Amino acid sequence: MTSFSDLNLNPKVLKAVTEAGYETPTPIQAGAIPPALEGRDVLGIAQTGTGKTASFTLPMITILARGRARARMPRSLVLCPTRELAAQVAENFDTYAKHVKLTKALLIGGVSFKEQDQLIDKGVDVLIATPGRLLDHFERGKLILTDVKVMVVDEADRMLDMGFIPDIERIFGLVPFTRQTLFFSATMAPEIERITNTFLSNPARIEVARQASASETITQRLLEFRPSRRDRETAAKEKRAMLRAAIEAEGAACTNAIIFSNRKVDVDIVAKSLKKYGYDAEPIHGDLDQSHRTRTLDGFREGKLRFLVASDVAARGLDIPSVSHVFNYDLPSHAEDYVHRIGRTGRAGRSGVAISIAVPADDKYLAAIENLIAKPIPRGDLPWSPTGAIMAEAEGEAKPDAGNERDRERHRGRRGRGKGGRHEADQATTPVAIPAEAPDQPQEAAEQPSRAERMDRGERRGQKPRGDYRSDNHGNHRGEGDRGGRGGERTIGMGDHLPDFIALSFDERRGGPPRASLSDEATDETVEDQTDIAGAEEMKEQAVPTLEAKAEAEAPKPKRRRRKKADMVDDSGENATVTEVAAETEA
Ligand code: AMP
């Protein structure tokens, strides 16, 4: 077996590695470090958790230990898709370069350019940056990239998802042709293949795990359920109740968890809802300011925060060694994200549990995930009965009534014929005593469009709401056909016919100012009611295809805005030290 001392690393780097407690190199380290030290390009196909960060930082420090940086001319460049990942890479440099005199700068948004400029002016050996911020500095004439000897692209597949590939290509054109490139990606999408063919020269290719592999130490479970009603509020409410029940069912074994949601709006709602029910939860996503994100993440890392509710991008690549559970509040629409998400638990040989909630509209995502991981996700017993619990509460009864029984009966024919899944009525339900979020309205009333939906329709009169909420949009409930192609233009509770009066906003009918009353009324409302509003916002947000929305939502703000505001942005100072600066606008 290879040992670190076989790898030709600088003795000071070896010392730091020993102090970090590593005994043997991981496969990506054993595979990537020797060619990197020989000056060869490396193509590492590895996901986070494999030790890939050290596989490029250790040889880089060894290479950079010789020589010094000149003003404004960094000697190496590490490009990361998100600020968290960039900060994590910077921490790795701190750990492994502690016995070597190297300077570094972290160029991520949110911190004043001035402070970052000062660092660059002094000369840095390692520049760790997100692509947009790096180009901003370059365009301001503050950065010269002609002395870059080693360039690292980390998490290239995520760069692709976030729309950074044009920036990456541009940066490749700005660094010397003779540089060495260390390129890492968890998957090799055709676009990534194209980039590597174009910009890497005869790379040593090291693939440590198949893209679909999930650690064997992770116990996966799928909670398949059909919300008792189709309206979005009820479905979302029940999903949140199911999440709480799933958490409760895990008991003390769930020491901490990352809860993933596909949309930022849901990240906020789920976190708020959990907090309302007494759970120690905080959201993290790209719209929160950097100091807030850092605080939340630090709290979670240090065990002060139990539940981190996260979007994919915010949590991407995060290395938090002991996360007992991952919950997928939504199944991800990209199958690879499932592997990434559940990989947040069960790290470094520990055991972990990944529980995913799936509703009928997730069928096609589920199929893609199971196809990718090449096995079915074991179905778990539902810890909570959606129909029974909600209705019982609404009607002040302890048990579901005959109507609910009928309701379930209705679902029996449609649900549960899927691969490996038992239908919910047959599932051994282990109910957990958790409160439903709020007493429900009577059935008919509940199935009317919500106020926010009606207001939104009024505002968007003439357009049918796209309603890209997945269960509506894709509409691929078994037995209902796939309506995804039409954008799921369905009027909840009223069939596809939308009477004209519904399409008028309250304000128009009253002659009042448009939408003002909605926001006023919304101020004091509960999480559920805010869901209405968020739902309406979401419908607007989702007027672009999901992927684009994701990229737009999580990716860099337009450069013009960044540049304009950049000098005014305050440095929170939280992550700033003499040799490092933090923040960015990219993620
Ligand atoms: P990464 O894939 O770079 O996110 O690393 C995942 C985790 O593995 C980090 O917590 C590293 O500190 C840890 N790690 C990296 N290399 C080794 C090693 N050779 N032995 C044990 N742990 C390691």
pLDDT bracket for residue 274 (50, 70, 90)? very high
* Total number of residues shown for the chain: 587
For ligand 1, atom 23: residue with the closest CA: 51
Q: Is the pLDDT of residue 75 over 50?
A: yes
Which of 173-187, 491-505, 545-559 has the lowest average pLDDT?
A: 491-505
53 lines ligand 1 (CB under 6 A): yes
Ligand 1 pocket, residue 49 CB under 6 Å: yes
116-143 pLDDT, tens per residue?
Answer: 888 899 999 999 999 999 999 999 998 9
> Could you check whether 4-207 and 218-394 share the same CATH topology?
yes
Please give the average per-residue pLDDT across 33-45, as a whole number.
Answer: 97
How many Å apart are CA 565 and CA 360, to the nearest integer? 44
- Does 535 contact ligand 1 (Cβ within 6 A)? no
Question: Is the pLDDT assigned to residue 98 strictly greater than 90?
Answer: yes
Q: Which CATH architecture has domain 218-394?
A: 3-Layer(aba) Sandwich (3.40)
Regarding the beta carbon of 222 and ligand 1, being less than 6 Å apart is answered no
Residue spans per domain, the chain: 4-207, 218-394, 424-495, 500-586
More confident residue, 138 or 454: 138
> Looking at ligand 1, which atom is closest to the CA of residue 50?
2
- pLDDT number for residue 321: 76
Range among 1-15, 77-91, 166-180, 346-360 rated most confident = 166-180
Which protein residue's CA is at the shortest distance from atom 15 of ligand 1?
A: 51
pLDDT in the model for residue 549: 36
220 or 111, greater pLDDT: 220
62 has pLDDT over 60: yes
Find out whether the beta carbon of 47 lies less than 6 Å from any atom of ligand 1. no
Q: pLDDT at position 214, please?
A: 62
Q: What is 4-207's CATH topology?
A: Rossmann fold (3.40.50)
Ligand 1: does its nearest atom lie under 6 Å from the Cβ of 131?
Answer: no
pLDDT of 331: 96
pLDDT at 490 over 50: no
Give mean pLDDT, residues 353-378: 93
pTM above 0.85, yes or no: no
Q: Quick check: 475 pLDDT over 60?
A: no
- Residue whose CA is at the smallest distance from ligand 1 atom 13: 51
Q: Is the pLDDT of residue 494 over 60?
A: no
Which atom of ligand 1 is closest in space to residue 92's alpha carbon?
A: 12
d(CA 510, CA 505): 9
Which residue type, as a one-letter code, is found at position 46? A
pLDDT score of 587: 31
Residue 79: per-residue pLDDT: 98
Q: Provide the pLDDT confidence category of residue 185 given band limits of 50, 70 and 90.
A: very high
The protein residue with its alpha carbon nearest to ligand 1, atom 18, reads: 22
As a whole number of angstroms, the distance between CA 148 and CA 139 comes to 17
Amino acid at 115: E
Nearest residue by C-alpha to atom 22 in ligand 1: 22
CA distance 158 to 545: 18
Q: Which atom of ligand 1 is nearest to the CA of 53?
A: 3
3-class SS letters over 154-177: CCHHHHHHCCCHHHHHHHHHHCCC
Tell me the best of 7, 22, 158, 344 to mutate to test the pocket of ligand 1, counting ligand atoms within 8 Å of each CB and taking the most. 22
Q: Residue 551 C-alpha to ligand 1 middle, in angstroms?
A: 29
The finding on whether 26 has its CB within 6 A of some atom of ligand 1 is yes
The arithmetic mean of pLDDT across residues 364-389, rounded, is 86
Mean pLDDT over the full length of the chain: 71
pLDDT tens-digit map of 397-429: 323 222 333 333 333 333 333 333 333 333 334
**For the stretch 408-445, what's the b/e string if a residue is b when 16 or more beta carbons lie within 10 angstroms of its beta carbon?**
beebeeebbebeebbbbbebebeebebebbeebeeeee
By mean pLDDT, which of 290-294, 436-440, 480-484, 537-541 is the weakest? 480-484
Asked whether 139 and 160 are in contact (CB, 8 A), the reply is no
Q: What pLDDT is attached to residue 3? A: 92
In sign, the C-alpha dihedral spanning 58, 63, 69, 74 is negative
CB 274 within 8 A of CB 324: no
Smallest CA-to-CA distance from 238 within 73, 90, 436 is with: 436
Q: What is the rounded CA–CA span in Å between residue 390 and residue 239?
A: 11
Lowest mean pLDDT among 65-69, 219-223, 580-584: 580-584
Q: Rounded distance, CA 400 to CA 389, Å?
A: 7
* pLDDT interval class at 388 (50, 70, 90): low
